[in-house]
Amino acid sequence: MTRTPIDRRQALRWLGGAGAASLLAACGGRAPEASAGTGNTASRGARVVVIGGGFGGATAARYLKRLDPGLHVTLLEPAERFYTCPFTNLYLGGLREFESLGHDYQQLRRLGVNVVHALAEDVDPVGHSVTLAGGERLPYDRLILSPGIDIRWDALEGYDRAAAELAPHAWKAGAQTHRLKRQLEAMEDGGTFVLVAPANPFRCPPGPYERVSQIAHYFKTHKPRSKILLLDAKDAFSKQGLFMDGWRELYGDMIEWVGLSGDGRVVRVDADRLEVETEFGTLHRADVLNVVPPQRAGFIAERAGVTDASGWVPVNPRDFSSAQVEDVYVIGDATEAAPMPKSGFCANAQGKVVAFAAAASLAGDPAPEPVWANTCYSVIGPDYGITVAGVYRVIDGQIAEVPGSGGVSPRGADAGFRRREARYAAAWYQAICEDTWGTVV
Amino acid sequence: MTPSPAPRMPAIGLLLSSLLIVGGPASAQSPEDHSTPPALLAAACANCHGSDGRGAWPIASIAGRPYTELLRQLTAYRNGESLDDATVMPRLMAGYSATEIETLARWFSSLPVTPETAAETTP
C-alpha cells in the first residue's frame, strides 16, 4: 500500500480525461506512468470510422469511446434499430418476441459516438476516406470494418434473390425471418420443413441445428405430425452429439439429419416447386424450404480491398488489422479467424481487442497482447440449453484455442444442467446486448 | 434503467489504476503468463457478466464481490471444479493463468456493486 500516492495520481489523471494510455498498459508490463501523457496527446482528436453497427462494430465504437473520450468515433450503420441474428431461432420457435431482438443506438450517442444511419458505399484506403451512399466523404485515421456477411447468390444453382422470396434464408434478421415464420405458421400439420445447411465456413456454426430444434419445438406444440429434414453439405457439425441427444430426448424422430456422405449436399434449388436436388440426384420436396446458402464477407470489405480469393478477410492475429490494407481493422463474421467461430460473441470480443489496438496504434504504441473468449449457447427447447466455449490467444503467430480450455457441455448431463444453460442463454443475451449497444433487453 | 456508461468510467479508471499498481511485485510473470492489460482481460468477462460486472440473473453479478471470494471461486473453476451451478466457467477459466485470475479477482472486486455507487464518483 506504500504505492498509494502513485495510484492516486493515476486516478486523478484518468478523472481528468487523461486518455487511454493508463488502460493500455499491461499488468506487470511497462510502467503506466511513463506513457500516460504521450498516449493522451498523440491520440487526441484522432478520427476513427466504424462501418457496421452489429455485435462487432457497436462494441468497437463503445469501447473506443470508453477508453478514450477524446477520440472522434463515427459509427456508420444504415438501420436505426438493429435486430440480432442470435435468438431469431427462439422467435421462430415461439419463445421470444421479435421486438426483443432489436437494439437502437441511443446509448452509444449518449457516450459521444457519432452514429450516422447511412450506407458506406466505398472506401479509399490510400486517401483514408469512406464514401457514403449520398456521396459524402468521411476522412479517417483508422477504419474498423465490421461488415458481417453477404449471401453468395451465384454459388448454389437456382438460389438467387427471387428464390429467397419463396425459400427464405432467414440468415439476416428482419424481413427474411418474418417470411419464414409466416410460412411455418401457414403450413398444415403433417407437412415437411426442409433446411439446407452449407459447408464451412459460414455465419453461426450451430445456427442451422438450433433452428431445426426451435422449429421442432414449434411443431411439437402446434403441428405435432410434421417432419423436419436437414440436408447438410458436411459430415460433422458444431455440438453434434449434444444436438442429436437433445433432438431424441425432446422431439423423438421428428428431425432427420442427412450429412454429406449420406447424400445430404444440395446442388440445385427449385424455389417455385419448393424442391431441392442433392449431389447424387435425389429430389426432396418441402412444404416450407429454408436455404442457408454459401456466404462471404459483406461487400464493403471487398470495396476496401481487404478480402482475399475466398471472399473472406485475412487479418493479423494480434490486432485484427487487415493483412492487406494499412490502418484498417476488420472484425466479426467477415474475418478468417478460425478456430474462433463466426459468432456474435466473437465479434464482440474482437471489437474490444480492436478498440484497444486502434487506441494504442493512434498513441504510437504496439497493440496489447490479446485474449478472446467465446461461448455459443444453443437453445434446443425451453428448458434445454447446450454450450460450446473457448479461450483463444495468439500462439506461435496464429490464433489458437488455449490447450486444455473450452469444449462443449458434458454428454449425459442431468436435466438441471440443461435447464441452467437455457436460463444462462437468456441472461447472456441480455449481458452481451448491454455490452455491445448499452441497451437493456 | 441503465444509466449512461459514461459516468461509470471514472470509477473504473480509478480502480484500474490501483490494479496496475497493486499487481506490481506480486505479478512477476511466469512463462505461462501474458501481458494483456487488465481492462482488456476483464472485458472478456463482460459478454456474460455485463460491461461493469453486473450480470443478469441467473448469471452472477461479480462487481464488488470480495477479492478473496472471487479468487477462491475462479481458482476452483480453473482447477475444474464446478461451483454454484456454473456450467461454462470451468471450461473458460482453464484458459487463464493464475496471475490473470488474481488480476480479474482484483478488478471485479474493485468495481462498484451498483451503478449508483459509480455515479457518485462522477466529477
Indicate the residue of B22, B39, B47 with minimum beta-carbon distance to A432.
B47
B61 Cα to chain A: minimum distance (Å): 11
* CB distance B121 to B11 below 8 Å: yes
* Confidence band of B14 (pLDDT split at 50, 70, 90): very low
What pLDDT does residue A341 have? Answer: 97
User: What domains are defined for chain B?
Assistant: 36-119 (1.10.760.10)
Grid-cell match 457497436, residue found: A58
Candidates A199, A165, A195, A197; CA nearest to A182 is: A165
The grid coordinates of residue A318 equal 494480434
pLDDT, tens digit, 9 for 90 and up, residues B54-79: 988 899 999 999 999 999 999 999 99
Q: What pLDDT was estimated at residue A36?
A: 34
User: Cα–chain-centroid distance for residue A8?
Assistant: 39
**Residues 6 or more apart from A253 whose CB is under 8 A from it?**
none
Asked if residues A331 and A347 have their Cβ atoms less than 8 Å apart, the reply is yes
Check whether the bond before A341 is cis (ω within 30° of 0).
no
Q: Can you give the pLDDT at residue B22?
A: 35
Which residues, in sequence order, are CB contacts of B1 under 8 Å at separation 6+?
Answer: A440
Q: Residue B112: its pLDDT value, please?
A: 87
A440 band by pLDDT with thresholds 50, 70 and 90: confident
Which part of chain A has CATH 3.50.50.60?
A: 4-150+297-366, 155-285
Distance CA A388, CA A98 (A): 25
CATH architecture classification, A155-285: 3-Layer(bba) Sandwich (3.50)
- Is the pLDDT confidence value at A109 over 50? yes
Task: Let me know: does B41 contact A27? Beta carbons within 8 Å.
Answer: yes
CATH topology assigned to domain A4-150+297-366: FAD/NAD(P)-binding domain (3.50.50)
**Nearest alpha-carbon partner for B104 in B39, B28, B26:** B39
Query: Is residue A318 classed exposed, middle or buried when 0-12, 13-18 and 19+ CB atoms within 10 A define those classes?
Result: middle
Calculate how close chain A gets to B43, using CA atoms only, in Å: 7
Give me the residues of B, 22-41, that contact A with CB < 8 A.
22-24, 27-29, 33-41
Q: What is the ipTM of this complex?
A: 0.90
What mean pLDDT is predicted for residues A123-141? Answer: 97
Q: Which of B91, B108, B121 to mutate to test the interface with A (most CBs of A within 10 A)?
A: B91
The helix/strand/coil state of B55 is: coil
| Helix, strand, coil in percent for chain A, rounding step 5 | 35, 25, 40
Please determine, for residue A199, whether its predicted confidence score (pLDDT) is greater than 80. Answer: yes
